[in-house]
Structures are given as structure tokens and as C-alpha cells.
């Protein structure tokens, strides 16, 4: 059997001594496409944060708040995805004088997320959906074994959101995404983890679940 990428056993997860989720047992195997569902505030981000901390393979993250630096350009925000591949001197040089090869590498990804030609735009002047696509571009540039996304396409229109979820699926072998859209979840997931009342209420292959099963998480 393939070793799990991360394993939690009967864990209590929370913040500052306050439990949010109890009895969490979850293993993530390579190649799984896991979607986390559940009402607002139930603990999806809390679980993602724990998994992000525990994963040891290269991981890209699309945080709910995008995690961008507004005063920097789109190019520099996307480049942040690969900062740890370069030394401090190389990163400082790239901040001031990005090379043509670095610009074109980022430009290729901006094209994928529908932001072609916007590398020099300042992030603080972008719309919410454009910012979300910068965060997605940063994850796509970073690459790795796993992508973690906290509502990574909520600011996008349905067609654009579906296309970018497919791009994530093509770039990363394993994904763990918190989503709010049940149909989208059933389309992209191999496995769905539903949170309710302080714990995991559903953990099953997506093929064994119906829309009604998932909508019950929101009642
Ligand atoms: N960084 C944090 N520091 C302290 N408490 C937090 C933090 N993030 C979340 N919480 C708390 O943990 C609980 C669960 O929140 P969490 O963000 O995990 O839920 P969620 O299911 O992701 O919600 P949403 O769908 O609204 O994003 C909430 O009570 C929230 O206030």
C-alpha cells in the first residue's frame, strides 16, 4: 500500500486552546482529489491549515484571503510561489530587475488564468476575481505534489472557476480543496469529506454520494 502523504488520528483541531473539530481521523493518499464541504465556520480552513502544516511534500496553497501583497505587481506576487527555490540574493535581484526568462515564465501562467499582459499591474488595483486568479497563478507556478485550496474559485464565474479547477487537477497529482458548491465538488472530487457539528460527518468516495447527501451538511 502507498504511504499516505499525511495522516491524522483522533486529533482535536482548533485555535488558541479552543477546539473546532474533534476526533479527526484522516489519511490522504497520493493521487486523491479531496473536497471539504460544510457550513461556514464549521472548520474547513482549520482542517486545511493542519494538513498544510503536516504535509512534508512540496505543497502549493491558495488561501481564502489570497495572501497577496497589494503594493507589489502581479508578476512579483506570482513569483512568490517559487521564492524558496532561489536564494536571497536571487530573489532581491528579481524584485528589482526580473529577467526576461522569469517574466515569460510568469506570463505563460498568467495566460492560463486569463490575466495575460497584466504582469506589471499593481495587485491593489485588481478586482476580487483578478486577485483570486493571481493567487491561483502563484500556486500553478509553484507546482508540487499537493495543492491545498480554500474556496479557490469563489470569486470567479462558474465557467472560469470550473476551468481553473481543471487546471489545478492537471498540475497537481493530489488536491485538497474546500468548496461551497456541491455540484462542483461532485464533479472534481474522488473523495468528499463533509464537516458538521465539530467533526467529520461524511468521508466517502464521491461516486457513492448524492447531491442530497451533501446538501444535508448545510441543514
Ligand atoms: N486563524 C485563526 N485564528 C483563530 N481562530 C480561527 C482562525 N481561523 C479560523 N478560526 C476559527 O475557527 C472556527 C472555524 O473556522 P474556519 O475558518 O475553519 O471555518 P470554515 O469552515 O473554513 O468557514 P468558511 O466557510 O466561512 O471559510 C471559527 O470559529 C473561526 O473563528
The atom of ligand 1 lying closest to the CA of 195 is: 21
Q: Is 149 in the pocket of ligand 1 (CB under 6 A)?
A: no
Does ligand 1 come within 6 angstroms of the Cβ of 42?
A: yes
Which residue segments constitute the domains of the chain, with CATH numbers given? 1-58+144-219 (3.40.50.300), 69-142 (no CATH)
Does 17 sit in the ligand 1 pocket, CB within 6 Å? Answer: no
Burial state string for 188-211 with b = 16 or more CB within 10 A and e = fewer than 16:
bbebbbbbbebbbbbeeebeebee
- Cell numbers for 214, please give them: 451533501
**Ligand 1 pocket member 194 (CB < 6 A):** no
* Residue closest by Cα to atom 16 of ligand 1: 43
**Pocket mutation for ligand 1, best pick of 22, 35, 43 (most atoms within 8 Å of C-beta):** 43
- Which pLDDT score is estimated for 95? 82
Q: Is 44 in the pocket of ligand 1 (CB under 6 A)?
A: yes
Exposed, middle or buried, 125 (CB in 10 Å: 0-12/13-18/19+)? exposed
pTM of the complete model beyond 0.90:
yes
E-strand spans in the chain? 6-15, 18-28, 33-37, 59-62, 146-150, 174-178, 191-196, 199-205
Supply the pLDDT for residue 1.
65
**Predicted pLDDT at 142:** 97
Q: What is the ipTM of this complex?
A: 0.96
Angle at 40 between CA 63 and CA 175, to 5 degrees: 40
Handedness of CA 2, 149, 72, 120 (dihedral sign): positive
Residue 91 pLDDT: 82
> Is 172 within 8 Å of 148 (Cβ atoms)?
no
Residue 83 has what pLDDT? 85
* Distance in Å, CA 134 to ligand 1 centroid: 23
pLDDT tens by residue, the chain, 219 residues: 689 999 999 999 999 989 999 999 999 999 999 999 999 999 999 999 999 999 999 999 999 999 999 999 999 999 999 988 888 888 888 887 888 988 999 999 999 999 999 999 999 999 999 999 999 999 999 999 999 999 999 999 999 999 999 999 999 999 999 999 999 999 999 999 999 999 999 999 999 999 999 999 998
Report the separation in Å between the CA atom of 40 and the middle of ligand 1, taken as the mean of its atom positions. Answer: 8
Amino acid at each position: 500500500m502507498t504511504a499516505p502523504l499525511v495522516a491524522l488520528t483522533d486529533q482535536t483541531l482548533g485555535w488558541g486552546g479552543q477546539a473546532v473539530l474533534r476526533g479527526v481521523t484522516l489519511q490522504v493518499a497520493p493521487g486523491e482529489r479531496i473536497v471539504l464541504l460544510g457550513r461556514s465556520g464549521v472548520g474547513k480552513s482549520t482542517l486545511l491549515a493542519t494538513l498544510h502544516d503536516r504535509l512534508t511534500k512540496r505543497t502549493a496553497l491558495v488561501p481564502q484571503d489570497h495572501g497577496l501583497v497589494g503594493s507589489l505587481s502581479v508578476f512579483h506576487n506570482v513569483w512568490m510561489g517559487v521564492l524558496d527555490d532561489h536564494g536571497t540574493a536571487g530573489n532581491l535581484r528579481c524584485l528589482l530587475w526580473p529577467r526576461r526568462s522569469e517574466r515569460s515564465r510568469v506570463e505563460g501562467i498568467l495566460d492560463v488564468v486569463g490575466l495575460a499582459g497584466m504582469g506589471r499591474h499593481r495587485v491593489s488595483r485588481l478586482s476580487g476575481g483578478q486577485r483570486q486568479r493571481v493567487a491561483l497563478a502563484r500556486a500553478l507556478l509553484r507546482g508540487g505534489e499537493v495543492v491545498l485550496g480554500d474556496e479557490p474559485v469563489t470569486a470567479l464565474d462558474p465557467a472560469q472557476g470550473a476551468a481553473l479547477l481543471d487546471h489545478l487537477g492537471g498540475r497537481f497529482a493530489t488536491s485538497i480543496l474546500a468548496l461551497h458548491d456541491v455540484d462542483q465538488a461532485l464533479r472534481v472530487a474522488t473523495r468528499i469529506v463533509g464537516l458538521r457539528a465539530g467533526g467529520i460527518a461524511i468521508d466517502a468516495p464521491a461516486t457513492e454520494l448524492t447531491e442530497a447527501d451533501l446538501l444535508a451538511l448545510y441543514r
